[in-house]
Amino acid sequence: MRLRLAAALVLLGMWPAIALAAPTVASIIDQAIDALRTQCYVARMRFATPLNGGVEQVVRIYHVAPDLYRVEPLIDGRPGDIAYIENSDELVRLSIVNGNQEKLAKLQFSVSDLLTMKFLRDLGRLPGTTVLSGMVGSMNVHVLRQEPIPEKPYTITVGVDQGNFFPVYLLVTGDEGRRYVYYEMEEIKYRRPEQLPDKLFVIPEVAPQQRAAAPRGASRAVPQANQPGTRTLPLYPTSLPDGYHLDAISMLNYVPGGDPAATPALVYQFEVYGPRLDDLISIFQTRAGDVDLRIKESYNQENAHWVLREKEGWVITVIGSLSMDSLLRIADGLGQKEEEVKRLVDKTLTRDRILREASAD
């Protein structure tokens, strides 16, 4: 008989010694985030998120890390007529029978992975996380759980496969039991990339009348691409240290000089994480014309853990625990990759909207 995770947690409360023998929270999270970025698989998954209106669905999902997904909704356990294919550029809903396609306005499955990484980091960053052992389906898992705290008024429960640390279960609930994000891999088979045929992720070429665009008014809420003579999008980090990954780009308001009457300057914050939970580099960029700051080389000092640069009309601050030379290499390696910036800003906005909704209740 299948032991559901909730039942397993109740039973495990009778054996507190199990928690003492579990790996540390940080070590589990470090490996879980790496597995989420790199593990390929085919799975039967049950899920519900705000991205699909909170409706619970059962699907077969194929994934080639980091950004290829094929998702087939199941009807009575079998694939129906519809499949979704997502890559780094677009999410398309296609009909298997007649070949019609619809390009959807928002990426979904990569955003779900981005959310999972955020919740995993919260489990390691904030206090009170417990580690127990449990089961999801037939899989032995490390169960990480964190009750609501003032900084995060919702409960996070994550099940991590004890064999390879892949996160196979996630449940985020509010104070009254409202479910914000949920997924469970009911069955999963781990694969190498070459074991998942390319044809699964190919969006077929179709006649224009068979391809519908995203609905009106559903365009991405991100800054427009740079026009000739202007620069509205920040620069992209093309020279990161080994093991570091850019996860998100947030948009912040900065009031120069702290004057409440001043016009806020738009600041882009790039969240760059390393192989360990506490490896974080923040890159801040704002237009040079929006801040009254003259950059001097003398500002950059060894052991300060931050550097300043001005490049292509942007004032750049890089903050992290690396050497000054390493931080300067990151700043000097920033370059123009506008589409990558737009996509990641959009995904970050969606991620943060869901987090705000969960925190508001």
Could you state, in order of their start, the residue ranges of all structural domains in the chain? 5-212, 236-360
Split at pLDDT 50, 70, 90, the class of 105 is: confident
Coil vs helix vs strand at 100: coil
- Which one is predicted more confidently, 300 or 246? 246
Residue 19 pLDDT > 50: no
Assigned CATH topology for domain 5-212: outer membrane lipoprotein receptor (LolB), chain A (2.50.20)
Mean pLDDT of 242-248: 95
Q: What is the pLDDT of residues 336-356, one digit of tens each?
A: 999 999 999 999 999 999 999
Predicted confidence at residue 20, as pLDDT, reads 43
Residue 215: is it exposed, middle or buried by C-beta count within 10 angstroms (0-12/13-18/19+)? exposed
More confident site: 87 or 6: 87
Q: What is the pLDDT of residues 257-309, one digit of tens each?
A: 666 666 788 999 999 999 999 899 999 999 988 877 777 776 777 878 899 99
**Distance between CA atoms of residues 341 and 130, nearest Å:** 36
Q: C-alpha angle 333/337/342, rounded to 5°?
A: 130
Q: Which helix (H) or strand (E) holds 34?
A: helix 25-38
Say what percent of the chain tops pLDDT 70.
84
Averaged pLDDT of the chain: 86
**Pairing state between β 91-95 and 57-64:** unpaired
pTM, rounded to two decimals = 0.85
Structurally, at CATH architecture level, domain 236-360 sits in 2-Layer Sandwich (3.30)
- Residue predicted with more confidence, 165 or 53: 165
**What pLDDT score was predicted for residue 304?**
84
Task: State the pLDDT at residue 164.
Answer: 97
Summarize pLDDT for 73-83 with one digit per residue, the tens: 999 989 999 99
Residue 150 bridge partners (DSSP)? none
| Helix or strand run (H / E) with residue 284 | strand 280-287
Regarding predicted confidence, which is higher, 54 or 165? 165
Q: In which band, very low, low, confident or very high, does the pLDDT at 223 lie, cut at 50, 70 and 90?
A: low
